[in-house]
Amino acid sequence: MDSNSSKPAGVRPAGAGLGNNRDSTRQHNLSTVLGLVHSSAGLSRAQLTRTTGLNRSTIAALVGELVQLGLVVESDLDQSQQHGRPSIMINPGPSVLALAVNPDVDAVGVALVALGGNIVNPVRFHTVRAPSMPEVVNIVSAVYAGMAAALPAHFRVVGIGVAVPGLVDPADGTVIEAPQLGWREQPLAAQLAKALQLPVACANDAVVGARAQAAFGAGREVADFVYLFGGASGIGGGIVSGGKLMHGATGFAGQLGHMLVRTDGAACSCGSSGCLEAEVTREELLRAVQLPVDRAEDLEQSVLGLFASGEASAQLREVLSRQARLLAVGLRGVVHQVNPSLIVLGGFLRILAEAMPDIVEGAVSLGAARGAREQVRIELAPLGESLILVGAAELAFAPLLADPAGVLRAASADREN
């Protein structure tokens, strides 16, 4: 987000101050360089020098310290440079990891993620019903024990990031409510931290998806975008406005699944009715193509395959067209309220945009007042769980990215005690 602007604000030359001031400048510059390497998944020294405005010897010293910390690696010369001297490439190191967790109604996703958003070994642990909070803690503990045992000795895991399909208290990572999981007031962050002895950060899954989009995805170069994700647990969203993720007064902005889209609509888990997520559901699409929940990964292929071969039933067409129209109602509201330049649709919402493009794209190009609808484009988020896992890892990496040397020193001290 902020760190993706071409020239980060507030970069100070190393050595500009004395004592603590010099330390904080160095920490700030280390953080800036690591952030750039992380979100670009690799940069040349020349690009770092240009982007930060720091001089070449300062960049060399900062990169040297990050190499020593195991956070970045220097590799072959950048061959893409046509002119001038070739420059050494700086890539995210593979040995510093975050554990990403995504509990869902039918599975718990767990993966180690390296800097640069590289997913190392994703595991989707299927459950016969929605897992309870203690079950999630047990599953993650068991899966992590296996992963950790297979890691080389010098690899380290700096923390756990959890994407939760529900409302999360940003202050302490308590899950206030996750209706589809049947959770209320579950101290997930505290219990995971106790079980795995690692720092834990939790956030709503759609907010996590928006963070991943902003750091690595379609939203990377965009200051104003809206991310909408549809999954087994409903529809969530995240709004990035002016380069910043909107939090709201208590951290719950972006509950786009609860936009009213039909006045006499179906009852919603929030207690209201006619909400987007009550009207536009993955369950109804699964039923329309007669797929069981445990084959939900095949839903998109299945629906689009039936369309391509002209075998889509009248019922399927009716469901898709109705859901697409109701999604369009929601999108039209978003366009006018937020004035984004980009809307990213993820999860099963992709299917509605692909099968009914006229309806979904029409929402942002027709019937809307001229100003806001101009230049809004719709893009599809990549398939699968990877975006959510990368975003969850971002939560865990945040302290490291802010103070690379400090966090690793503290982690090493903990390990020696």
Quick check: 26 binds Zn ion (CB under 5 A)?
Answer: no
Q: Of 165 and 219, which has the nearer Cβ to Zn ion?
A: 165
* Minimum CB–partner distance for residue 258 and Zn ion (Å): 4
Q: Which is nearer to Zn ion, 258 or 325 (CB)?
A: 258
Sequence-separated contacts (24+) of 183-188 with Cβ below 8 Å: 183/132, 183/133, 186/133, 187/133, 188/133, 188/136, 188/137, 188/162, 188/164
CB 143 → Zn ion: shortest distance, Å?
32
Alpha carbon 173 to chain centroid distance?
17
**Closest CB to Zn ion among 270 and 372?**
270
Hey, which residues between 239 and 268 contact Zn ion (CB under 5 A)? 258, 268
Closer residue to Zn ion in complex, CB, 270/306: 270
DSSP reduced 3-state for 311: coil
Under rule CB under 5 A, how many of the chain's residues touch Zn ion? Answer: 5
Phi and psi of 37, rounded to 5°?
A: -65, -40
In whole angstroms, the minimum distance from the beta carbon of 206 to Zn ion comes to 14
Of residues 281 and 386, the one with the C-beta less far from Zn ion: 281
Contact 324, 307 (CB under 8 A): no
The CB-of-262 to Zn ion minimum distance in angstroms stands at 12
The minimum distance between CB 164 and Zn ion, in angstroms, equals 17
CA angle, 301 then 303 then 308, to 5°: 85
Query: Is residue 340 a contact partner of residue 224, using CB atoms and an 8 Å limit?
Result: yes
DSSP state of 272: -
Chain residues 266-285 in contact with Zn ion, contact rule CB under 5 A: 268, 270, 272, 275
Distance separating alpha carbons of residues 299 and 306, to the nearest angstrom:
11
The distance of closest approach from Cβ of residue 183 to Zn ion in the complex, given in angstroms and rounded to an integer, is 17
Residue 375 to residue 386: CA distance in whole angstroms: 28
Q: Compare residues 229 and 397 and give the one whose CB is closer to Zn ion.
A: 229
Site of interaction with Zn ion (CB under 5 A) = 258, 268, 270, 272, 275
